[in-house]
Amino acid sequence: MGLFSKKRSNASQPSKSLEDIVWKPERVVAPLDHEMGWEYLYFASELARGLSDNKGAFEEMMSTTLAGGAQVSAQPFEEIQQMMEELSSTVGFIEEIFSAANMAKGFGEPGVQGNETSISHLSCEIVGVYAELIAISRLLKSRNYGAFQAVAAEVASMSYTPLKEIRDFSDLVSTSFQKAMGEVRQGITPKEPLTLTLKITMDDEVVERLSRSLNQLRG
The pLDDT tens digits for 138-172 are: 999 999 999 899 999 999 999 999 999 999 999 99
**Per-residue pLDDT for 49 more than 90?**
yes
**Per-residue pLDDT for 215 more than 50?**
yes
Q: Is 28 within a domain?
A: no
Q: Is 20 within a domain?
A: no
Q: Is 27 within a domain?
A: no
Q: Is 100 within a domain?
A: yes
Q: Is 77 within a domain?
A: yes
Q: Is 22 within a domain?
A: no
> Which of 1-10, 30-39, 62-71, 129-138 has the lowest average pLDDT?
1-10
Q: Is 25 within a domain?
A: no
How does DSSP assign the chain, residue by residue?
--HHHHHGGGSPPPSS-HHHH----SS----S--STTHHHHHHHHHHHHHHHHTHHHHHHHHH--PPTTPPBPS-HHHHHHHHHHHHHHHHHHHHHHTSHHHHHHHH-STTS---HHHHHHHHHHHHHHHHHHHHHHHHHHHSB-GGGHHHHHHHHHTTHHHHHHHHHHHHHHHHHHHHHHHHHHTTPPPSS-----------HHHHHHHHHHHHHHH-
What is the average pLDDT score of the chain? 87
Range of the domain at 127: 3-11+36-61+71-218
**Per-residue pLDDT for 23 more than 60?**
yes
The total number of structural domains in the chain stands at 1
Q: Is 19 within a domain?
A: no
State pLDDT tens for residues 192-210: 777 788 988 766 777 778 8
